[in-house]
Amino acid sequence: MPGSPPPPPISSRIRQLCDDALEHLVPGPGRTMAEQISAKLAAPLTITVAGGVSSGKSTLVNALLGQRIAAVDAGECTRVVTEFRYGAHERAEVIGTDGSVTVLPLARGRMPDHLGRPVEQISSVVVYLSNALLAHIAVVDTPGLNTVTEVNEETTASFLGVSGREGEQTASAVSRADALLFLLPLLRQADAEILRGFSKLFGGSSLSAASAVAVLSKVDRLTKNGDPLVAAAPIAARVAAELRGVVSSVLPVVGLLAETAQAAVFTEADARSLATVAAVSDPLDRDDMLLTAEDFLSFDLLELDRPARVRLLSMLDLYGLKVAVKAADEGARTASDYLRIFDSASGFAALHQVVTQRFAGQAEVFKAHAALNDLRRASYLRNDPDNLRALRALRSPLEKIELDPALLQLRLLEVANAISIGDLALPDPLVSDVIALTSTVDPRSAVGAVATRSRDIAADGAARWSTWGNDARRSPNEARLARVVKEAFEVMWHEFEGVQR
């Protein structure tokens, strides 16, 4: 109706359902779960960064946050789950396995070297930063997963490297994530198997290809000469094909260069140091100087002291130094000149766009989808006899929410989740449909912007899913999920048909 207020956000409707349920729930597991769901709906979207040991997780977290805060060297902080949240009073809160909390100051804007208690007694660390990005999302850094498996290990948990304490913490963090960035260092097939295995291990989570992205980290090691992003492109395409339905995209990133470009660590003094490096102009001398890290540190024709050389290596590594030298030859002089070039060479822009636009832009939908899954599980709890009736009463309003045509995007995420966990096997063209529809803030962009052509694409999509879903070989659940996608295409067809008129 004209003048009617817009409908409340999806997550607000589900939070209201939680609040209504809490009025009837007495203390017990069901009430605790409802309180946790309501609190998570009110919190920023949680993006978890996971991957193998030394895959560059903390470096990428620093690039995302725009400050070098996460510990990148092996130590206490890299062995615990660390969550970064917004807070005007910057601090680190160490949460013990016994529930106690110890507050530690940040050391010059960095994580403290020591957490005040043995790692085995720490459940997690929460770091509060007055960082603008964290006003909208929370970022979780996880311990590295062990990708080296024994020949006789047969359980999924062992294969995924989550059988130990640190692995279990990472597994728990991933299962609670609203969105996932999974780092895949090149040429380690075990990491791809881990990511595929996560979808099986966490069938109860809300993660799907729509909310998961794989990152090819450390691609600078791909080639000694040339652009590693170009060299990584065919590998990214191959990995994307292997992980179709598990992640929405595979993005190559030079993590260290991204951190240096984003984290406000590169100074004018560093720019002057690079000018000194570029002053070694003979091509053969340059090749010798930048052959290995040790060659750079010991090269006797370079008029730069060792601490300055060590600092440049720590920020740029050999590939970044080669990028910087070329930039200097082409006229780069100031720190800002170099930072623009580092940012472009790192490939970070595409990943940053995914985080700030796709994930943050769909935050309400992702959180609502996770909450629906959690509430559905809560409605079937059997270990809370005092709340059985109140929990069962959730089922009817949940069904109404799930069937509301206005919430079609939520139902599409259910289809994506079913593909990710292996409950729905589809031919590649149909998987591509689901990824296209769920990996964007506006699903209509999946069929284009020109009304006539988009109408035809939408009609073809609806027919494609109708044919597949009506096949007698489909199970009732497969047919139901197919109808969801068919309806999405039909809704778009009607919208574009209206534009034509």
Residue 394 covered by a domain: no
Q: Is the pLDDT of residue 149 over 50?
A: no
Do 183 and 58 have their domain in common?
yes
Q: Is the pLDDT of residue 343 over 80?
A: yes
Residue linked to tokens 């260069």: 257
Mean pLDDT of 176-184: 85
**pLDDT at site 155:** 34
pLDDT band at 157; cut points 50, 70, 90? very low
- Pairing verdict, β 122-129 and 212-217: unpaired
Share of the chain above pLDDT 90, in %: 41
Using N-to-C axis directions, what is the helix angle for 476-500 and 408-420, rounded to 10°? 140
Q: What domain count does the chain have?
A: 3
Do 138 and 219 have their domain in common?
yes
**Minimum mean pLDDT among 139-148, 231-240, 323-332: which range?**
139-148
**How far is it, in rounded angstroms, from Cα 175 to Cα 374?**
12
**pLDDT at site 152:** 27
Residue 302 covered by a domain: yes
Do 249 and 318 have their domain in common?
no
Q: Collapse the DSSP code of 69 into the 3-class scheme (helix H, G, I; strand E, B; otherwise coil) and give the result.
A: coil
Do 165 and 312 have their domain in common?
no
**pLDDT at site 200:** 57
- What is the domain-level CATH number for residue 113? 3.40.50.300
Average pLDDT, the chain: 83
What residue numbers bound the domain in which 320 lies? Answer: 264-344
DSSP 478-496: HHHHHHHHHHHHHHHHHHH
- Is 411 or 196 the better-scoring residue by pLDDT? 411
**pLDDT at site 4:** 45
**pLDDT at site 246:** 81
CA distances from 215 to 32, 195, 196, 234, 354 (A): 35, 11, 14, 14, 11
**pLDDT at site 188:** 54
Element (H, E) at 319: helix 306-329
414-465 tens-digit pLDDT: 888 888 777 888 998 899 898 888 877 666 666 655 456 778 888 899 999 9
Do 130 and 238 have their domain in common?
yes
Do 55 and 162 have their domain in common?
yes
Mean pLDDT of 467-481: 92
Residue 420 covered by a domain: no
pTM of the model: 0.81
Share of the chain above pLDDT 70, in %: 83
pLDDT band at 172; cut points 50, 70, 90? low
